[in-house]
Amino acid sequence: MAKMTASKTQEEQWMVQNQVFRIYDLVYRLPPHAQSVNFELRRDDHIEYLTRSLTQLGPNFTVLDANRPWLCYWIIHSIALLGDCVDDNLESDAIDFLRRCQDPNGGYGGGPGQMPHLATTYAAINALLTLGGHKSLSSINREKLYSFLLRMKDTSGGFRMHDGGEVDVRACYTAISVASVLNILDERLTQNVGDYIISCQTYEGGISGEPGAEAHGGYTFCGLAAMVLINEVHRLDLPGLINWVVFRQGIECGFQGRTNKLVDGCYSFWQGGVAAIIQRLHLMIKEQLGLSSTFKFDCITESDDDSSDTDREKPMLEGLNNNGYNFIKGSKGMRPLFNSMALQQYILLCTQEEAGFRDKPGKRRDHYHTCYVLSGLSVCHHCNVKEAETPPLPKDVMGPYSNLLEPVHPLYNIVLDKYYEAHEFFARL
Amino acid sequence: MHGRPRKAPTDEEQEASSNKAVKLRDLQSQVLQFHRNKIYTKEAIEISAKLLESNPEHYTGWNYRKLAVEHLLDHLPENGVDSESIQSILDEELRLVENALKRNFKSYGAWHHRKWILSKGHSSTDRELRLLSKFQKLDSRNFHAWNYRRFISALKKIPDEEELQYTTNMIYDNFSNYSAWHNRSVLLSNLLEKGGKGYDDRGTVLGEEYEFVRNALFTDPDDQSGWFYHLWLLEQTLQREPLFLSSWPPNGSTLCLSIDGYLNSQQSWPMLHFQSKARTFPLILYFSEAVEGVSSSTVTVESEYNAGGDLIWRPLSPKKFGFSQAWLTDLKFSDKVHSLESCPVKITVAHFPGIISSSGMPCSQSCHLSFTVCVPANDQERSEVQTAHRISLEEENFKALATQSEEAKLVHSLSKLEIEKVNRPTTCKQSLETISNEIAHCQELLSSTDCKIGKLTLARLWMARNTLITYGSTDDGTEVHYEDILALYRDLMKMDPVHICYYEDEYSLALWKQATSNLVSLLKHCYQYQETSSSPSMNPSLCVRLNGLSLSRIGSMEHLLWVQMLDLSHNKLRSIEGLETLQLLSCLNLSNNKICSFTALEPLKKLKSLQVLDISNNEIGAHSIDTRRYLCSSPLNHALVSEWHFDKFASDDVTLKDHWDAYLIFDDLNLIQLEIMGNAIVDDRLRSFLFKLMPSLKWIDGESKCD
């Protein structure tokens, strides 16, 4: 057998691994006090970094000129996760800015005057919902947005990113997510989306961006969340999907996005979010596995005395648009399928900078990673409670309990309180 | 330790980059204006190129370019519509995309623009492949590039063989490139399906692939990509038709229907007895893997007295989406038939196509089986004579079988009742060679390194080999390696305790297979049960004992369909999924396992013949109150159970609500004897509840109902 030398991929993997292990080793050899400092979330510094970025960004950010609503969402959502909000002036400016990104014929573009685009529409809507309040929520032109979504519908059942743009699973998710959260989802929009997403689930178990490609963390999140929102998640091979996603958390403790890729902080949410969604799909999973109706997963137990009260069926709201609401109101039927403590360790020790978060040691912080690392950390904190609103136990939070972040709605990635406010607002319209 | 000091940019650098930003802003607003006002002059188009070269993410800019191209193509001078001028327009676009990709080769807009130009029928295959090679060299995992590659090969009809060669080159360059392995599996599936030249012989192709992936595995046994592909190959190698393996009643037997009551009397081949009050008996078909499509249109049953037309087939243990290894129907003899000397029943499985495995393989070989049924007259009178007595599962009541005993002969005959192997496809011979070859290589690898995934793969390969041997047409006595498999899993449990439950389950499956798949080992687990104290008139019974084996999971049932008395005590069973297949079971010992709730016993609900059940010394109720019950049907959460007889218990101090999970399981059973002590949940209230629930029940833990 000819011996080859290590591949480039392996060299890179070893390098990252060594860096990560060195950090863990160093921290665990520190005296207890110094050690605990390292596990602290530098909340105030993060908030300052984020708030500053919202008013003024350096000239290097011109590459994001076609993604400005994304910057708004990444920053505003991160601040909300940290339990803070932007001041009134800034909020008002952000709403005005996003209003200027809104196309007269519906949807939001990457900046004022740009064509409407599904991804930036998703970002703009999520940012506006996170800001909340009447001014923000009523700035959205739902009727026009609906007609924009309909225009983006492709004959394959999927959606096009923008007029003349590409069709992929990301487009399906962003379209379905905004329609659902704004209470404008209907059968014309959902028609055959499920078929398209099913055609992207690969034999590995995860979901790819387009048919024929390999499974990918971001697309797996998009595909799964969209399928839940259109109430067709039973059509996915869920055991296969679980099998894929659980093996994406590696020895570095964080998640990778695809097989044999390097760990990356942003997948804390993409893959962690998939795991969080799966926790509420226990009935479907059981059915697909052919487990008997009485089979019980290793489930979350909160205390010894809550017997039948919590089992009482909750009132479910009817209609396609309430899938997201009913989903979050239901209970988690199984324990998290990832190692929450390990992921929190990776996040706090390897991705946290003085302010802001990064992909991995050796990379620079940015707003995208700050947003998705924090979202992933929130998923970790809240993965062991059965009901969405229940505060987690101190043992679920690595580091001091003050690290605790706000819970998110995992299908939309909007802070839960903000989601409820928006749900109530749009349910009346 | 986190933030490395950031180098503050110098004033000049800062100024330069601000200037650049101002310029870019300016470009952007100009392009947006051109877009809005539909200005497609040469200058305007050049400005848009500048914007896209610095910011390839600017999708509005790309759309402007598309409109501009359409405009230019529409406005070519009347006499000048020649391919050259079209080409120069499109060439300019290709050049622009290339420059944009150099800036950011993850730009969705740029790749999409190129697809758009290509679909206009321009550019040469070579040129695109050259471009791709360049970008794929820079980032071999870039999924945009791989997507574009698949787009080009479909558009230009590049043969899959050539693309396969490309993945070979990519893998030689970096064997950890999973994107290349993935594309390889997609291409190879296509090629094997089409079966063109060089790909018509599946076995050879797969054999070569094993050899190819081995290089990667040997270089670094800890690399994920190769093993992932290896696992895919193994799955392809094992893909075969689902086989019909065994049935009850077994082929060639004579079944005597009686309403003898209680444990069935002594059986002696070929005369089998089955008690039935309703003159029905179960007909069970067992397949090598979960299948769907078992119905009266795929399976024919011919019998003179079988009244009732089309039979309803039910999956016994439905797996994903309604697939099941075992299928059940009830054969019924009408009441008009008082006694029957012999009634032959002929069954043809897969008489018509439609039985399909979950991997989509059809069961194409039809299989015949036949047995005879007789219904003795006056059986009613006899049944009244016999009265039930309490069974004692004490060790002293079990005796190993003497070689020449009636029971040994019976087991001997039953074990030969598999469906004839003649019809089985012989194609697996090559697969067998391939796998044996892989085993040798895997052993070689393990001789130099102690890697988990290597050991796991070796264990899987050995199991795969055993499957091929036992389901193959030739039984050439090839040695099976159960001991080695078990040793590997024991090793893995120590090496990798995090995944111990998985290894325990796999260990159990291997052990179960070892114990049941051949006569010699099965006989070791067969015992004669006869109570030492009982009257001689009591016939001894045949009991299969798989006790004290550390089983955590129940395995395949193909050789056990006839079992009526089963001892699974002193194992580690947490669930009993699989037992529902044993429709004849009348006495079951599950004592000293790890069952932690009544609801885990659900498979028992399907066992209509079960009369004696021992679940003593388990962990039912030992864990904190079960808050997971919302998963099951409960009175509070509507139900699978059609009706809850609340009133039946209304006057008692035992409320149904306290014991609804016991109700759920035991309401469907007709037990005569139950051993339940040694579970935290047991108290007198539960005992009296169970007596009330099951009128047939005579003893709980030795206490009889009247006490």
Here the ipTM equals 0.88
Q: Strand, coil or helix: what is B315?
A: strand
Before B250, cis peptide (omega within 30)? no
Nearest to B627 among A1, A286, A307 (CB): A307
How close is the nearest chain B Cα to the Cα of A425, in Å?
31
Positive or negative, the CA dihedral A242, A248, A254, A256 is negative
A344 Cβ partners below 8 Å, 6+ apart?
A377, A380, A381, A397, A398, A399
- Element at A177 (helix H, strand E): helix A169-181
**In chain A, where the domains are located:** 40-55+63-291+319-428
Positions of chain B with pLDDT lower than 70, given as ranges: 1-9, 78-81, 259-270, 277, 305-309, 318-321, 335-339, 377-388, 415-427, 473-479, 532-539, 623-657, 706-707
pLDDT tens by residue, B361-374:
898 888 888 888 88
Q: Which residue has the tokens 């800036």?
A: B103
Cα separation, A6 vs B244, in Å, equals 47
Closest C-alpha among A256, A57, A249, A65 to residue B24? A65
B569 Cβ partners below 8 Å, 6+ apart?
B393, B547, B548, B589, B590, B591, B592, B593, B614
pTM equals: 0.82
Q: Strand, coil or helix: what is A100?
A: helix
Which residues in chain A are contacts of B317 at CB distance < 8 A?
290
How close is the nearest chain B Cα to the Cα of A63, in Å?
5
Beta-bridge partners for B371: B345
pLDDT at position B635, please? 37
b/e sequence B652-664, b meaning 16+ C-beta within 10 Å: eebebeebbbbbb
A65 touches chain B (CB under 8 A): yes
Q: How far apart are the first and last CA of chain B?
A: 75
B612 Cβ partners below 8 Å, 6+ apart?
B263, B391, B586, B587, B588, B671, B672, B673, B674
Beta-bridge partners for B145: none
At the topology level, CATH places domain B514-704 in: 3.80.10
Give alpha helix (H) positions in A335-415. 340-346, 367-381
Nearest to B321 among A38, A60, A288 (CB): A288
B583 touches chain A (CB under 8 A): no
Cα separation, A17 vs A253, in Å, equals 10
- Kindly state the tokens that stand for A87: 């001041």
Q: What is the mean pLDDT of each run of 10 residues along chain A (429 residues)?
A: 67 92 91 87 96 85 89 97 94 96 96 96 98 96 97 95 95 98 96 96 95 96 98 95 94 94 97 97 85 68 45 70 93 91 96 97 96 98 91 92 96 97 94
Closest C-alpha among A240, A122, A377 to residue B235? A240
B572, B596 contact by CB (below 8 A): no
A428 touches chain B (CB under 8 A): no
- Kindly state the tokens that stand for B433: 């060679």
Which residues in chain A are contacts of B220 at CB distance < 8 A?
6-7, 10
b/e sequence A237-258, b meaning 16+ C-beta within 10 Å: bbebbbebbbebbbebbbbbbb
A339 to chain B: closest CA residue: B498
* CATH match for A40-55+63-291+319-428 among 1.50.10.20, 3.40.50.1000, 1.10.10.10, 3.90.1640.10: 1.50.10.20
Say yes or no for a CB contact (<8 Å) between B63 and A164: yes
B244, B325 contact by CB (below 8 A): no
Given its phi and psi angles, is residue A107 left (phi above 0), alpha (psi -120 to 50 degrees) or beta?
left
Cα separation, B449 vs A415, in Å, equals 49
Cα separation, B365 vs B380, in Å, equals 42
Closest C-alpha among B329, B338, B287 to residue B308? B329
Cα separation, B553 vs B575, in Å, equals 7
pLDDT tens by residue, B281-295:
899 999 988 999 999
Cα separation, B236 vs B595, in Å, equals 36
Residue extent(s) of CATH 3.80.10.10 domains in chain B? 514-704
Say yes or no for a CB contact (<8 Å) between A299 and B2: no
Say yes or no for a CB contact (<8 Å) between A59 and B21: yes
HEC letters along B534-602: CCCCCCCEEEEECCCCCCCCCCCCCCCCCCCEEECCCCCCCCCCCHHHCCCCCEEECCCCCCCCHHHHH
**What residues of A are annotated to the active site?**
216, 258, 261, 264, 266-267, 359, 366, 369
B51, B24 contact by CB (below 8 A): yes
pLDDT at position B384, please? 43
b/e sequence A33-42, b meaning 16+ C-beta within 10 Å: eeeeebbebb
Say yes or no for a CB contact (<8 Å) between A354 and B318: no
Query: Helix %, strand %, coil % for chain A, to 5?
Result: 55, 5, 40
A110 touches chain B (CB under 8 A): yes
B560, B582 contact by CB (below 8 A): yes
Q: Strand, coil or helix: what is A25?
A: helix
Around A328, how many Cα atoms within 13 Å sit in the side-chain half-sphere?
25
Closest C-alpha among B582, B579, B558 to residue B244? B558
B-facing residues of A in 197-236 (CB < 8 A) are 202-204, 208-210, 212-214, 216
- Kindly state the tokens that stand for B81: 């519509």
Say yes or no for a CB contact (<8 Å) between B175 and A302: no
Cα separation, B365 vs B420, in Å, equals 12
A385 Cβ partners below 8 Å, 6+ apart?
A300, A302, A332, A391, A392, A393, A396
- Element at B246 (helix H, strand E): strand B244-248
Closest C-alpha among A272, A220, A245, A223 to residue A405? A272
Alpha carbon separation from B661 to A21, B518, B597, B601 (Å, rounded): 48, 39, 8, 10
B575 touches chain A (CB under 8 A): yes
DSSP code string of B37-85 = HT---HHHHHHHHHHHHH-TT-HHHHHHHHHHHHHHHHTS-GGG--HHH
Which residues in chain B are contacts of A304 at CB distance < 8 A?
624-625
- Kindly state the tokens that stand for B315: 């999956």
- In Å, how far from its chain's centre is CA B643? 34
Q: Which residue has the tokens 């300016």?
A: B26
B-facing residues of A in 255-284 (CB < 8 A) are 258-261, 282-283
Torsion of CA B36, B40, B46, B52, to 10 degrees: 40
The β-bridge relationship of strands B367-375 and B356-357 is: unpaired
The DSSP secondary-structure symbol of A322 reads G
Say yes or no for a CB contact (<8 Å) between B597 and A302: no
Q: Which residue has the tokens 């009330």?
A: B692
B227 touches chain A (CB under 8 A): no
Angle of CA points B692, B697, B698, to nearest 5°: 115
Residue extent(s) of CATH 1.25.40.120 domains in chain B? 13-200
Cα separation, B143 vs B391, in Å, equals 66
Which residues in chain A are contacts of B2 at CB distance < 8 A?
352-354
pLDDT at position A306, please? 43
What single letter denotes the amino acid at residue A390?
Answer: T
Backbone angles phi, psi at A167, to 5 degrees: -100, 125
Cα separation, B359 vs A423, in Å, equals 42
A113, A97 contact by CB (below 8 A): no
Which residues in chain A are contacts of B599 at CB distance < 8 A?
294-296
Say yes or no for a CB contact (<8 Å) between A117 and B232: no
Query: Helix %, strand %, coil % for chain B, to 5?
Result: 45, 15, 40
Which residues in chain B are contacts of A283 at CB distance < 8 A?
631
Cα separation, A374 vs A81, in Å, equals 7
At the topology level, CATH places domain B13-200 in: 1.25.40
Cα separation, B238 vs B103, in Å, equals 46
Say yes or no for a CB contact (<8 Å) between B176 and A258: no
Which residues in chain B are contacts of A65 at CB distance < 8 A?
24-25, 28, 55, 57-58
B3, A353 contact by CB (below 8 A): yes
Say yes or no for a CB contact (<8 Å) between A310 and B630: yes
B148 touches chain A (CB under 8 A): no
Closest C-alpha among A154, A176, A244 to residue A208? A244
At the topology level, CATH places domain B244-380 in: Immunoglobulin-like (2.60.40)
Beta-bridge partners for A207: A201
pLDDT at position B387, please? 58
Q: Where are the beta strands (DSSP E) in B268-412?
A: 271-275, 280-292, 300-303, 314-315, 324-332, 340-349, 356-357, 367-375, 398-400
